[in-house]
Amino acid sequence: MNTSLLRRLSLSLAAPALAAAFALLVSSLVLTLSGSSWLDTYSEMISTASKLESMVDILNRATPLYIAGVAVAIGFKMNLFNIGVEGQYVLASFIAAWVGSQFNLWGPIHVALILFVAVTVGGLWAGLAGLLKVTRGVNEVISTIMLNFIATGGIIAALLPLAIDDPTDPNQGTPLIAESGWMPNLNGLLEIFTRDIIKGRQLGGMFVIAILLGIGYNIVVNRSRFGFDLRASGMNPFAARAGGVPPKKMVLIAMTASGAMAGLIGMTEILSVNHSYDQGFVQGLGFAGIAVALLGRNSAPGMAAAALLFAFLDTSSAPLQVTGTASPEIVVIMQATILLAAVIAYEVVNRIKQSDEVRRAALATEAVGPGEPEAMSGPDAMSGPDAMSGPDAMSGEVTA
């Protein structure tokens, strides 16, 4: 048994390692083919990242990526694909920034109000997709994609002109939020570790919130009754229903929770960086969040690592352009290759684990008493393709 545990452990670690190696290989190949030196490129990326100010940049970039990953993962946990995180966070950020700019309150209340509005808007927008799913059977993938377009091309396009105070301002957006609604930065915390003054960089306060969210997510999903219901519904909705978990209610709650979390993605930008929503508001974090959730296998530490990796790649893209070492787009190719390689590697490892499982079960039943075919098909059926291959392929837990 011990050797099989070791085998399982090494298999789990093999997948990300293989994916990373493969991605490095592909990127090196692409770099060489396009006439850049892969060695120079990688050393440039690493030397950039080892600077203190880049580290702050990476953490600031990783924060929303991580929150986006958690938002997507909540859906994944019960086999819901919330592809609308993108629209949910952009809409939530816009409304929160607008509402926040209309008030001048005592600091913590002001910040809390903005966060509350963002969470509510995100939750409602995603909840709409959940509602359509449970009442009308509309697939959430399609409905959230449509809601993405309606949010950005419709609602924001319709409301943004109303929110603009000064039509002559070149950067058209919501009015600036009063300083009471700015989230304090964490530079004081950084100074514990280093006395170096960071060149104009600030570690955003959302960093702490992201960490707390991660811990909360981990506890709720893995250690609570609700989390159990959630995972059970995801793995086998029929069994969960038989066990007294109302499937429609779970869909609604999971979608709404996912959207509420999505509402927080843009808060780094609203509370710590721009303090307003304008045309140049950061886009694409929702789709990046899907990648983070997939890479991190929906686990809080895994997604943290994935968010840091993606943030590292994102921040190293600009210096590549400045020094002319390589095309900055190489980092996007790296991200996508890592993602594709990782999901394939996870799947392969999963299959090996499954066949291990079958073999082990066969051995075990042989030891108890010979030849009962039903007993053999038991564990196989449990970890069969239907349970295993959803977006949440963590189902190794069931058999572990």
Q: Alpha carbon 265 to chain centroid distance?
A: 10
Query: Which DSSP letter does residue 204 get?
Result: -
| Residue closer to other proteins (CB basis): 158 or 367 | 158
Q: Does 393 bind other proteins (CB under 8 A)?
A: yes
Q: Does 158 bind other proteins (CB under 8 A)?
A: yes
Query: Which DSSP letter does residue 82 get?
Result: -
Least gap, CB of 308 to other proteins (angstroms): 18
Beta strand residue intervals within 144-240, DSSP E = none
Sequence-distant (6+) residues with CB within 8 A of 221 are: 74, 77, 227, 230, 231
Count of residues in contact with other proteins, rule CB under 8 A: 47
Least gap, CB of 294 to other proteins (angstroms): 6
Least gap, CB of 330 to other proteins (angstroms): 6
Binding mask 75-94 for other proteins (x = CB under 8 A): ------x-x-----------
Count Cβ neighbours within 10 Å for each residue of 303-329 and write b for 16 or more, e otherwise.
bbbbbbbbbbbbbbbebbeeeebbbee
Least gap, CB of 204 to other proteins (angstroms): 25
**Can you tell me whether residue 125 is helix, strand or coil?**
helix
Site for other proteins in 117-156 (CB under 8 A): 132, 136-139, 141-143, 145-147, 149-150, 153-154
Q: Which two tokens stand for residue 300?
A: 């809080």
Least gap, CB of 24 to other proteins (angstroms): 16
CA distance linking residue 283 with residue 265, whole number of Å: 11
Distances (CA, A) of 99 to 95, 96, 104, 115: 6, 5, 11, 11
Q: Angle at Cα 329 formed by Cα 296 and Cα 335, nearest 5°?
A: 10
Among residues 188, 370, 371, 385, the one that binds other proteins under rule CB under 8 A: 385
Kindly indicate which of the ranges 63-71, 211-219, 230-238, 383-391 contains the residues binding other proteins, using the contact rule CB under 8 A: 383-391
Sequence-distant (6+) residues with CB within 8 A of 336 are: none
CA distance linking residue 366 with residue 196, whole number of Å: 66
| Residue closer to other proteins (CB basis): 56 or 71 | 71
* Cβ 187 vs Cβ 203: under 8 Å: yes
Binding mask 271-290 for other proteins (x = CB under 8 A): ----------------xx-x
Least gap, CB of 69 to other proteins (angstroms): 13
Q: Does 332 bind other proteins (CB under 8 A)?
A: yes
Q: Does 19 bind other proteins (CB under 8 A)?
A: no
| Residue closer to other proteins (CB basis): 137 or 170 | 137
Site for other proteins in 23-62 (CB under 8 A): 30, 34
CA distance linking residue 90 with residue 93, whole number of Å: 5
| Residue closer to other proteins (CB basis): 65 or 294 | 294
* Cβ 148 vs Cβ 134: under 8 Å: no
Q: Does 387 bind other proteins (CB under 8 A)?
A: no
Q: Does 306 bind other proteins (CB under 8 A)?
A: no
Quickly tell me which residue has 């787009």 as its tokens.
329
Site for other proteins in 58-77 (CB under 8 A): none
* Cβ 270 vs Cβ 97: under 8 Å: yes
| Residue closer to other proteins (CB basis): 205 or 379 | 379
| Residue closer to other proteins (CB basis): 58 or 131 | 131
Nearest to 235 by CA among 107, 382, 71, 132: 382
Q: Does 176 bind other proteins (CB under 8 A)?
A: no
| Residue closer to other proteins (CB basis): 12 or 180 | 12
Q: Does 20 bind other proteins (CB under 8 A)?
A: no
CA distance linking residue 400 with residue 397, whole number of Å: 5
Q: Does 377 bind other proteins (CB under 8 A)?
A: no
Give 173's strand partners.
278
Distances (CA, A) of 169 to 97, 102, 174, 175: 17, 18, 11, 10
Q: Which residues bind other proteins (CB under 8 A)?
A: 30, 34, 81, 83, 132, 136-139, 141-143, 145-147, 149-150, 153-154, 157-158, 287-288, 290-291, 294, 327, 329-330, 332-333, 335-337, 339-340, 343-344, 347-348, 351, 385-386, 389-391, 393
